[in-house]
Structure 1
Amino acid sequence: MRVPELLESAGLLAAEAAATDNDVTVADVWDYLVNDEWDTALDLLEDLGDGRPPPPAFWEAMAEAAEELRMERSAAWCRWRCFEARNGVMRADLTLSPAGATRRTTPVPGAGVLRPMWNIGHHSPTGGPSWSVAALWIEGRPSLPPGGRAPVRLFPLTPAHWRHLRPGDRITMHEDRSVAGTATILEVRSPVAASAARR
């Protein structure tokens, strides 16, 4: 475990002098590290991504640390966030089709392993839909059953195909020709590097 790199990442935390009672500080993270509570320190650092967006290098260091601790889901989450830092964030509200309406009878796994096709409004030269592929991370739960609804994050395999989407747009998920689910875009955020360049 590379303590100096994690502490450098922790530099994104609130400074001690300016911290409020609710802020997580470098000292908080250090306390967990020196007491060998690495998993708690990693959890605190992972939560940083919901405030000021950390750069890709932060998420890469976090993923390596989680892998060393054999925290597979945390490592996958940090790699996902590294992709988002480089390519932008796309969140949606997904409702899966009920059991019996599609081939799927089991819950959709939540940790980015499913890569369904999506109808996002593009058309093929013959006029039919041209589907795009994006992996799916279900927020706050390990899976989503048929008919279930949850906020999700999308990981487009070709991000440029998705740049026309805006909050409120509706897209459909497909595992075959039938509609496996419908989603409404909730958030589209630029890559961290692009955001920093505009400041």
Structure 2
Amino acid sequence: MDVVRVLEAAALLVPEGVAADDITVCDVWDYLAHDEWEVALGLLQELGDGWTAPTGFWEELERAAALLGLERSREWCRWRGAETRVGVIRADLELRPVGETFRRTPIPGAGVLRPMWDIGSRRDGGEPDLHIARVWVEFADVLAPGRRAPVRLLPLTPARWRHLVPGDRIALHETVVAGGTATILEVEPALE
């Protein structure tokens, strides 16, 4: 299947009337007609925020990004597809500075880091019950120690995270010492 057919299949899934920043699916069709595939893919990704896009939509975009050799875009579409299945958790994460924790290098932004999180759960003895979630740094390739950025979290066990609400504070752990603190910005249930 070539990239044009994959992008067309995704565009056909977008309901009429969906728009994002004055972009509509008509704009996507115009770019496809002019062989501007990367632009069409980018527009479809933006349109994905304007409606309850099903997993199949994100899978088509993931295929298109792979065919175009756009690795970060492919991973983003895979991430968004996973969010439709498990829900969305967005937070404002601030990493502790170098010297206060073991981390000396930035964390990668494209969802490869899978740290443990103290989300308020306790074990029988009262100690924190840590849970794993991948981290996607929004709008940046990395997040350096001592810096802050909005992030998306993809829990390994989503049901354990359902109690979180905007304003809750959770702690990132890569070792016993917390490496950062995040304030929950948004929690949305799974779409599928």
TM-score category of the 2 structures, normalised to the smaller one: over 0.9
Deviations 1:80-130 (A, max 9, x none): 000001111000011000110001111111000100100001112222111
**CA distance in structure 1 between the aligned counterparts of 2:115 and 2:28, rounded to whole angstroms:** 38
Amino acid at match of 1:163: R
Deviations 1:134-183 (A, max 9, x none): 00000000001101011000010111110111111100001100110000
Amino acid at match of 1:57: G
Amino acid at match of 1:6: L
Task: Trace 1:1-199 onto structure 2 (pairs within 5 A).
Answer: 1=2, 3-11=4-12, 13=14, 15=16, 23-193=22-192
Whether the 8 Å contact between 1:114 and 1:136 is mirrored in structure 2 is yes
Residue identity (%): 55
Amino acid at match of 2:188: R
**CA distance in structure 1 between the aligned counterparts of 2:30 and 2:188, rounded to whole angstroms:** 33
Displacement of 1:9: 2.5
**CA distance in structure 2 between the aligned counterparts of 1:43 and 1:52, rounded to whole angstroms:** 16
Amino acid at match of 1:169: D
**CA distance in structure 1 between the aligned counterparts of 2:63 and 2:134, rounded to whole angstroms:** 21
**CA distance in structure 2 between the aligned counterparts of 1:190 and 1:19, rounded to whole angstroms:** 21
Whether the 8 Å contact between 1:90 and 1:153 is mirrored in structure 2 is yes
TM-score, with length taken from structure 1: 0.89
SS across alignment from 2:153: strand
Amino acid at match of 1:152: V
Report the CA distance shift for 1:124/1:167 in structure 2 as closer, same or farther (over 3 A): same
Whether the 8 Å contact between 1:123 and 1:130 is mirrored in structure 2 is yes
Displacement of 1:52: 1.4
Moved more, 100-109 or 34-43: 34-43
TM-score, with length taken from structure 2: 0.92
Name stretches of at least 5 consecutive residues in structure 1 with no aligned partner. 194-199
**CA distance in structure 2 between the aligned counterparts of 1:79 and 1:19, rounded to whole angstroms:** 21
**CA distance in structure 1 between the aligned counterparts of 2:82 and 2:25, rounded to whole angstroms:** 25
Report the CA distance shift for 1:140/1:109 in structure 2 as closer, same or farther (over 3 A): same
Whether the 8 Å contact between 1:91 and 1:153 is mirrored in structure 2 is yes
Deviations 1:50-101 (A, max 9, x none): 2212111100111011111110000000000000011110000110001100
Number of corresponding residues: 191
Displacement of 1:31: 2.0
RMSD: 1.9
